[in-house]
């Protein structure tokens, strides 16, 4: 997605954007979604999908997430403050900034991307998933 012909067509194009958070929008609270989520705005809370979902989170260069991310596929060119759990693949664009650890199965990182934390390869994706039941128990106000 960041270079000509370099992006994985299975990740970038297989899931449509079902939900869009605009540049001038701020969301306070956790987001649980299926399908595709594109963030141009500001999210203050965790972003996650159901463990079995084949989902894609794309964060533009103006997008910001303050919280943990648990998503199958992540295309990142914005800022995340919190751990990122990419259950399948993560693409870090040239303006990507992560302050926290990145857990991944496959990673693609462009020159200029920053990770201020650990890069942790994991074949065991089950250990990286936060179940919705546990999340709802710890934060009953989450959607």
Q: For the segment 83-118, what is each residue's pLDDT rounded down to a tens digit?
A: 999 999 999 999 999 999 999 999 999 999 999 999
Q: Judge whether residue 52 has pLDDT over 60.
A: yes
* DSSP for 9-65, written as a single string: HHHHTTS-EEEEE-TT-EEES-EEESSEEEESSEEES-EEE-TT---EEEE-TT-EE
* Average pLDDT of span 20-34: 94
Q: Which of 35, 32, 30 is nearest to 46 (CA)?
A: 30
pLDDT value at residue 141: 59
Structural domain boundaries in the chain: 16-137
Residue found under tokens 């759990």: 85
Quote the CA–CA distance of 26 and 131 in Å, as a whole number.
Answer: 25
Strand-pair partners of 27:
43
pLDDT tens readout for residues 53-74:
789 999 999 999 999 999 999 9
């Amino acid at each position: 997605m960041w270079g000509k012909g370099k992006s994985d067509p299975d990740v970038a194009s297989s899931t449509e954007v079902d939900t869009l958070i605009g540049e001038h929008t701020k969301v306070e609270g956790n987001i649980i979604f299926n399908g595709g989520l594109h963030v141009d705005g500001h999210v203050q809370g965790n972003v996650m999908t159901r463990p079995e979902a084949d989902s894609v989170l794309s964060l533009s260069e103006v997008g910001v997430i303050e919280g943990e991310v648990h998503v199958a596929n992540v295309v990142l060119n914005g800022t995340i403050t919190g751990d990122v759990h990419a259950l399948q693949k993560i693409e870090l664009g040239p303006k990507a900034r992560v302050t926290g650890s990145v857990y991944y199965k496959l990673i693609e990182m462009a020159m200029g991307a920053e990770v201020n934390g650990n890069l942790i390869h994991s074949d065991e994706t089950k250990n990286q998933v936060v179940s919705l039941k546990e999340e709802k128990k710890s934060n009953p106000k989450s959607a």
